[in-house]
């Protein structure tokens, strides 16, 4: 294969190098385009064809349905690893040894106390506030309580910031839920595993000895692993671009949480459940909702379907669908919502509209069914996604800073008014 690409503009040819990744993907390096062509830029709204960076963290092939973290398949990690191991792998590049993992967990535990004054900020939010808004604000507020900026030249400084946020974020997540439910805050238990502790902080009751349910722990562990990274998606790109101005780790993460909130991204898991419940309340008429999804005059979309990069299947959705079946069976729950989801999936997979557009169930289509079986409130679903995505965001932020990437600053093609004279207010 040639190692350059030629672009011809107005009869003049410009050559640009081709860059090849380790999985043989090829990119045209257009760094010199604007300078060489005297101001011409590329236009790619939604960045459908634009690589924003080189990254060694996550590989995905949307055509083949492949997802790998640092070279390990998502299927193998979901089956054999736990969430903290995966977090370490994503952030530092290799699976931890037993000692490394133990140290990592101990350091996280040492950093899991949240300043009591954060509690005051939490109390100032109305109970009706959406947990994603609260989580984003509290994550941002953590900066005020940990004002020293991270010296990215220092591995130690970087490590300390990482264990701090991995320790404190689950506390903020649990507090956000408990505040909504009017429950006293729980500070966790150091003797528990990372994921066990998250569940304890969320579900313990002040008048009842808390006992962990292994089915819940295993299910949440798997869900968090499946959500842990997904290369340059909307929230991750937000974290990288925010951090590229050398803004700190915590505020970059707060920006990522806000980006994740939207229903086209992480907010889809809540939207899926709301959609399935609406279908159930409507007598289970899936055909009506299929027709709405296909109607171009109706803004309704089949939530949990479609993906920017997966055009064959989402490997995470396969694992989650199986997990949903197993969890519900193990808990002895028969949920009509799961049956509606399966029916809808079957119809969509046979419908030419969805087939032609290569629309398949994504990671969020079945995750809500599992969260629901675990008694996690619907408004908390996207928050659970955020806690899963945390190691991915951290890994991407760290990589971006260590690679000394320049500030993210896209260009635009201006389509507004050309120069005109100011009109005084009385003459308008
Ligand atoms: N229901 C109905 N039609 C759809 C859907 C859907 N869920 N998704 C895409 N389409 C249609 C869309 O109308 C368009 O049709 P046409 O070519 O006739 O104009 C075509 O398929 C291509 O869609 P697009 O919006 O150009 O594709 P995109 O890559 O920009 O969007 C997406 C990807 C995930 C935003 C979109 O598929 C969607 O809105 N899905 C529903 C929301 C959802 O489940 N989001 C979670 C994504 S996975 C988890 C995560 O990353 O956070």
What is the DSSP track for 339-377? HHHHHHHHHHHH-HHHHHTT--B-THHHHHHHHHHTT--
Residues whose CB is less than 8 angstroms from the CB of residue 226 and which lie 6 or more positions away in sequence, other chains included: 74, 78, 316, 319, 320, 363, 367, 388
Q: Which is the catalytic residue, given 186, 230, 307, 314?
A: 307
Tell me, using a 6 A CB cutoff, whether residue 308 lines ligand 1. Answer: yes
Residues whose CB is less than 8 angstroms from the CB of residue 61 and which lie 6 or more positions away in sequence, other chains included: 23
Tell me, using a 6 A CB cutoff, whether residue 60 lines ligand 1. Answer: no
Length, in residues, of the chain: 428
| Largest Cα–Cα separation, the chain | 79
- At 321-365, the pLDDT tens digits run 899 889 989 999 888 888 898 889 899 999 999 999 999 999 889
Give me the half-sphere count of Cα atoms (radius 13 Å) on the Cβ side of residue 306: 15
Measure CA of the first residue to CA of the last residue in the chain; give whole Å: 61
Q: How far apart are CA 423 and CA 428, in angstroms?
A: 6
Tell me, using a 6 A CB cutoff, whether residue 307 lines ligand 1. Answer: yes
pLDDT at residue number 151:
85
Residue 1 CA, ligand 1 centroid: distance in Å: 34
Residue 304 alpha carbon, nearest atom of ligand 1: 44
Q: What is the dihedral of CA 405, 408, 414, 416, to 10 degrees?
A: -170
Tell me, using a 6 A CB cutoff, whether residue 303 lines ligand 1. Answer: yes
User: Is 378:372 a contact under the CB 8 Å cutoff?
Assistant: yes
User: Is 55:396 a contact under the CB 8 Å cutoff?
Assistant: yes
105 belongs to the catalytic site? no
Tell me, using a 6 A CB cutoff, whether residue 305 lines ligand 1. Answer: yes
Count the Cβ atoms, other than its own, within 10 Å of residue 184: 9
Residue 53 vs residues 27, 56, 404, 421: alpha-carbon distances, Å: 11, 10, 11, 42
Q: How far apart are CA 385 and CA 362, in angstroms?
A: 13
285 belongs to the catalytic site? no
Q: How far apart are CA 238 and CA 235, in angstroms?
A: 5
pLDDT at residue number 152:
85
The dihedrals phi and psi of 425, each to the nearest 5 degrees, come to -55, -35
Residue nearest to atom 20 of ligand 1 (CA): 357
Residue with tokens 């349905």: 65
Tell me, using a 6 A CB cutoff, whether residue 320 lines ligand 1. Answer: no
Tell me, using a 6 A CB cutoff, whether residue 265 lines ligand 1. Answer: yes
Residue 267 alpha carbon, nearest atom of ligand 1: 52
Residue 359 CA, ligand 1 centroid: distance in Å: 8
CA 27 to chain centre: 25
User: Is 204:186 a contact under the CB 8 Å cutoff?
Assistant: yes
DSSP SS3 for 93? coil
pLDDT at residue number 312:
85
pLDDT at residue number 313:
87
**In the chain, which stretches have pLDDT less than 70?**
1
Residue 306 CA, ligand 1 centroid: distance in Å: 5
pLDDT at residue number 390:
98
Using alpha carbons only, give the angle 319, 330, 198 rounded to the nearest 5 degrees.
70
Residue nearest to atom 37 of ligand 1 (CA): 306
């Amino acid at each position: 294969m040639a190692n350059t690409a030629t672009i011809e503009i107005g009869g003049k040819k410009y050559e640009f190098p081709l860059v090849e990744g380790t999985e043989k993907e090829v990119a045209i390096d257009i760094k010199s385009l604007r300078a060489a062509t005297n101001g011409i830029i590329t236009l790619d709204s939604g960045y459908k064809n634009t690589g924003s960076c080189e990254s060694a963290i996550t590989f995905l092939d949307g055509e083949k349905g492949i997802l790998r973290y640092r070279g390990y398949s998502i299927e193998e990690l979901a089956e054999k690893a736990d969430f903290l191991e995966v977090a370490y792998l994503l952030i530092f590049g290799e699976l931890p040894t037993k000692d490394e993992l133990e140290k990592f967990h101990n350091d996280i535990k040492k950093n899991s106390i949240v300043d009591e004054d954060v509690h005051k900020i939490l109390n100032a939010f109305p109970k009706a506030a959406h947990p994603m808004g609260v989580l984003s604000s509290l994550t941002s507020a953590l900066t005020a309580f940990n004002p020293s900026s991270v010296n990215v030249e220092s591995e130690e400084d970087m490590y300390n910031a990482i264990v701090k946020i991995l320790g404190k974020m689950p506390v903020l997540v649990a507090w956000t839920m408990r505040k909504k439910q009017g429950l006293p805050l729980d500070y966790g238990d150091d003797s528990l595993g990372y994921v066990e502790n998250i569940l304890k902080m969320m579900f313990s009751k002040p008048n009842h000895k808390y006992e962990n349910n292994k089915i819940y722990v295993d299910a949440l562990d798997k869900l968090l692993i499946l959500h842990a990274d997904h290369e340059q998606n909307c929230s991750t790109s937000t974290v990288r671009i925010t951090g590229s101005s050398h803004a700190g780790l915590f505020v970059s993460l707060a920006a990522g949480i806000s980006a994740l909130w939207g229903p086209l991204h992480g907010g889809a898991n809540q939207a899926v459940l709301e959609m399935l419940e609406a279908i159930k309340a409507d007598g289970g008429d899936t055909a009506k909702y299929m027709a709405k999804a296909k109607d171009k005059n109706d803004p309704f979309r089949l939530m949990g379907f479609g993906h920017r990069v997966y055009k064959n299947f989402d490997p995470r959705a396969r694992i989650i669908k199986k997990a949903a079946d197993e969890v519900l069976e193990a808990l002895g729950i028969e949920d009509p919502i799961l049956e509606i989801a399966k029916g809808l999936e079957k119809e969509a997979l046979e419908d030419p509209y969805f087939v032609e557009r290569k629309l398949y169930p994504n990671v969020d289509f079945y995750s809500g069914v599992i969260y629901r079986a675990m008694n996690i409130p619907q408004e908390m679903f996207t928050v659970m996604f955020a806690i899963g995505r945390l190691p991915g965001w951290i890994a991407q932020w760290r990589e971006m800073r260590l690679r000394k990437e320049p500030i993210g600053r896209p260009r635009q093609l201006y389509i507004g008014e050309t120069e005109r004279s100011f009109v005084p207010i009385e003459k308008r």
